Amino acid sequence: GKMKTGLQKTRRVLGTDIRDLFKAEGRLVDEDFLGELYARLIRTDMGAGPAGRIRDRVAKDFRGRVVHLEEVVETITQDIREQLKQDHGDLAKADSPPTVILVVGVNGSGKTTSIGKLSHHLVSQGHKIVLGAGDTFRAAAVEQLTIWSERIGCEIVTGPSGVDPASVAYQTTEKAVEIGADYAIIDTAGRLQTQGKLMQELEKIRRVIDKKLPGAPHEVLLVLDATAGQNAISQAKGFSNAAGCTGIILSKLDGSAKGGVVLPIREQFELPVKFVGLGEGIEDMTKFDPDTFAAALLE
């Protein structure tokens, strides 16, 4: 399905790399083989931890034997599946609607697009939603989100440029209650210059939402760009810590030949990957599922 298409680039690299290790008659699992396997796994950006674990597992199961491609692929797939087994794309739900979802992330990470896709996903399941344009410092962000709301056919709450994002968040929650929406999805600012201020702002947003609707927000989703390097990931950790994130939307996984990056991201953030972005279109996002993901990496 979508995951398989989205991970085409990774599969081309990893699949070809692993296949190249074998001849039709199989290959003896010795130190040479294990070293080569490790190097190829590392190329997917899965990180030394997971790559080492997979190598050790292959060593334990097969050392001194001649193995075939399928056996090794099965071991790799199994390991990845186990590492990610707790992750799934199910969103937390309020005891009674609306469920409030706050979306945070660095500018350019794909935050607006991800909100559009998530909204479309929920609306196509029959839910009524309200969007909140909480990134009030970027006129373009408000415009973009307004365009998404028109495409999707849902309500949006905006404020004048530069208005306190917390007031937009409050009004969005209020609106969701008023019209009996199932979900309120609130955008937030994604600038990085002033970590302290950002933290205060996010805390204030959470406070006012909770005041309007005790227990909200029910989800705080961090949007991460899968093609960004380690540096961007470190920066995003600031967001994650400040915002009390509950899950990750990993965007642009289609743009990367390094789909293995899901593993270290999962490890570093200690947050479940809930959705993955697999293209620019409105349908190009899928709920994360470890089995489908593991299979799509190598199949």
Tell me which residues touch ligand GDP (CB under 6 A).
105, 107-113, 190, 251-252, 254-255, 277-280, 284
CB nearer to ligand GDP: pick between 69 and 185: 185
Annotated ligand binding at 242? The verdict is no
- The 10 Å Cβ neighbour count of residue 154 is 20
Listing DSSP states for 1-58 in one string gives: -HHHHHTHHHHHHHHHHHHTT--TT-EE-SHHHHHHHHHHHHTTT--HHHHHHHHHHH
Query: How is residue 207 written in tokens?
Result: 């406070």
The residue written with tokens 């660095």 in the block is 106
Q: How far is CA 255 from CA 6, 124, 144, 226, in A?
A: 8, 26, 22, 8
- The CB-of-239 to ligand GDP minimum distance in angstroms stands at 11
Annotated ligand binding at 106? The verdict is yes
Helices (H), 159-285: 165-179, 195-212, 230-243, 262-269
- The CB-of-219 to ligand GDP minimum distance in angstroms stands at 18
Listing DSSP states for 249-261 in one string gives: EEE-GGG-S-GGG
Annotated ligand binding at 107? The verdict is yes
- The CB-of-225 to ligand GDP minimum distance in angstroms stands at 8
Annotated ligand binding at 287? The verdict is no
Q: Give me the phi and psi of 215, to 5 degrees please.
A: 100, -15
Annotated ligand binding at 256? The verdict is no
CB nearer to ligand GDP: pick between 146 and 174: 146
Q: Which amino acid is it at 40?
A: R
CB nearer to ligand GDP: pick between 73 and 129: 129
Annotated ligand binding at 190? The verdict is yes
- The CB-of-79 to ligand GDP minimum distance in angstroms stands at 26
Residue nearest to ligand GDP (CB): 277
CB nearer to ligand GDP: pick between 132 and 279: 279
CB nearer to ligand GDP: pick between 55 and 252: 252
Helix or strand holding residue 102 (H, E): strand 99-104
Query: How is residue 25 written in tokens?
Result: 């008659």
- The CB-of-253 to ligand GDP minimum distance in angstroms stands at 7
Q: How far is CA 88 from CA 205, 227, 292, in A?
A: 27, 21, 11
Annotated ligand binding at 187? The verdict is yes
- The CB-of-196 to ligand GDP minimum distance in angstroms stands at 21
CB nearer to ligand GDP: pick between 247 and 279: 279
Annotated ligand binding at 29? The verdict is no
Binding residues are 105-112, 187-191, 251-254
Binding residues for GTP are 105-112, 187-191, 251-254
